[in-house]
């Protein structure tokens, strides 16, 4: 990778960073370039080179290209960030259907993971479960990424997660799982052609501190959809300050054919707007948050994010050796 390219990208990252968590140590910079001008030609090879039980920050910079890879970030490799320069130029793609833990294009098992300006897609299409991204580690953050599939796009499985300025596309339960996650200024685009759900949150007991919050987001689509349905009996989803196009059906929510869940789910909206936000015909077992109730959902405090969401590193060093 040419030095001028590295300097340009790092300068852009530093300008784009606005997060409060400070990084005091230099990150180890690793480059991936399909043309052979980086440290590695494949993203997975760069991940594999990170030591087990790693304690240092690794910043894997991926040069634009289409990377046909099935990626796994193992649980014993924390503190990795993988970044492109812009999402529509750095594309990680796979085509596979199957069970939700087996089909993902990109799987994150490690804690303290970050991704920036990547497209992560599963191109399988309709007809089966086909996960694009599975996030099963704690303290994972995604900035400016594009995540797309059709059914079960984003398995937001377990842990605390933060998504900012991401584009997420799918048709059926395309944001699902039992993580505690904040989606800020994200664009949700539903491919549903009827009444499929955007979310399927799986909170299974009132003692679980999990749920999805969508803050300042935008919902568009091709036809119509509902905001969510309960994968777990205590499913918790909040939409706040979100623009809803007329793709959102008037009833807003679905009980997945189990009326008993109507008394246990927590489905709330707060100061949403647009033609799909009209609450007159919403199901009676959803509701609106008061100003006081909404405060919990309007900051990163709900996921403890101020203590772990990292800024772009401002100092870099190269790895001491290049692994084969």
Tell whether 324 is covered by a domain.
no
Q: Is 33 tagged catalytic?
A: no
219 strand-pairing partners: 188, 244
Q: What six digits make up the tokens of 40?
A: 């590695």
48 strand-pairing partners: none
CA distance 61 to 71: 15
Where in 165-308 does DSSP place strands (E)?
Answer: 167-170, 175-177, 180-184, 187-190, 197-201, 211-215, 218-221, 226-228, 236-240, 243-244, 266-270, 287-288
pLDDT given at position 12: 43
pLDDT given at position 319: 78
DSSP 3-state of 15: helix
Tell whether 290 is covered by a domain.
yes
CATH number reported for the structural domain that contains residue 32 in this entry: 2.160.20.10
CA nearest neighbour of 16 among 319, 258, 312, 313 = 312
End-to-end Cα distance, the chain: 18
CA distance 93 to 119: 8
Tell whether 47 is covered by a domain.
yes
Tell whether 59 is covered by a domain.
yes
253, with CB counted inside 10 A (0-12, 13-18, 19+), is: buried
CA distance 60 to 316: 11
Question: Structural domain tally of the chain?
Answer: 1
Q: Which domain holds residue 142?
A: 3-318
The 10s digit of each residue's pLDDT in 92-110 is 999 999 999 999 999 999 9
Tell whether 263 is covered by a domain.
yes
240 strand-pairing partners: 215, 270
Tell whether 93 is covered by a domain.
yes
Alpha carbon distances (Å) from 169 to 80, 85, 120, 142, 149: 25, 21, 11, 15, 6
**Residue 11 and residue 300 in contact, taking contact as beta carbons nearer than 8 Å:** no
pLDDT given at position 321: 52
Sign of CA dihedral 212, 216, 222, 223: positive
- With b meaning 16 or more CB within 10 Å and e meaning fewer, what string describes 177-216? bbbbbbbbebbbbbbbeeebbbbbbbbeeeeeebbbbbbe
236 strand-pairing partners: 266
Tell whether 323 is covered by a domain.
no
Tell whether 86 is covered by a domain.
yes
The phi and psi torsions of 259 (rounded to 5 degrees) equal: -65, -20
CA distance 301 to 290: 18
pLDDT given at position 20: 35
CA nearest neighbour of 298 among 245, 242, 256 = 242
Q: Among residues 39, 112, 157, 173, which one is catalytic? A: 173
The tens place of each residue's pLDDT in the chain, 324 residues long, gives 444 434 434 444 443 443 333 344 799 999 999 999 999 999 999 999 999 999 999 999 999 999 999 999 999 999 999 999 999 999 999 999 999 999 999 999 999 999 999 999 999 999 999 999 999 999 999 999 999 999 999 999 999 999 999 999 999 999 999 999 999 999 999 999 999 999 999 999 999 999 999 999 999 999 999 999 999 999 999 999 999 999 999 999 999 999 999 999 999 999 999 999 999 999 999 999 999 999 999 999 989 999 999 988 889 998 765 544
The 10s digit of each residue's pLDDT in 114-154 is 999 999 999 999 999 999 999 999 999 999 999 999 999 99
**Residue 104 and residue 55 in contact, taking contact as beta carbons nearer than 8 Å:** no
């Amino acid at each position: 990778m040419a030095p001028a390219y590295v300097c340009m990208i790092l300068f852009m990252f530093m300008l784009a960073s606005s997060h409060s968590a400070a990084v005091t140590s230099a990150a180890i910079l690793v480059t991936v370039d399909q043309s052979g001008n980086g440290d590695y030609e494949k993203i997975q090879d760069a991940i594999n080179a990170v030591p087990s039980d790693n304690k240092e920050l690794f910043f894997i910079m991926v040069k634009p290209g289409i990377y046909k890879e099935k990626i796994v970030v193992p649980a014993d490799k924390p503190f990795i960030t993988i970044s492109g320069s812009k999402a529509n130029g750095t594309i990680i793609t796979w085509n596979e259907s199957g069970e939700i833990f087996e089909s993902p294009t990109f799987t994150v098992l490690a804690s303290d993971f970050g991704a920036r300006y990547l497209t992560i897609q599963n191109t399988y299409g309709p007809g089966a479960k086909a996960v694009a991204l599975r996030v099963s580690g704690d303290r994972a953050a995604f900035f400016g990424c594009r995540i797309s599939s059709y059914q079960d796009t984003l398995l937001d499985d377990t842990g605390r997660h933060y998504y900012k300025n991401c584009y997420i596309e799918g048709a059926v339960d395309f944001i699902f799982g039992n993580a505690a996650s904040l989606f800020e200024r994200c664009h949700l685009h539903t491919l549903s052609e009827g009444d499929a759900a955007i979310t399927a949150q799986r909170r299974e007991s009132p003692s679980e501190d999990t749920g999805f919050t969508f803050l300042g987001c935008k919902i568009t689509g091709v036809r119509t959809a509902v905001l969510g349905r309960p994968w777990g009996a205590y499913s918790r989803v909040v939409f706040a300050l979100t623009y809803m196009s007329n793709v959102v059906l008037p009833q807003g929510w679905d009980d997945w054919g189990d009326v008993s869940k109507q008394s246990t789910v927590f489905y709330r909206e707060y100061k949403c707007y647009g033609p799909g936000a009209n609450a007159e015909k919403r199901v009676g077992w959803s509701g609106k948050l008061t100003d006081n109730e909404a405060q919990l959902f309007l900051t990163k405090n709900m996921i403890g994010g101020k203590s772990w969401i990292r800024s772009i590193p401002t100092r870099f060093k190269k790895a001491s050796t290049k692994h084969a």
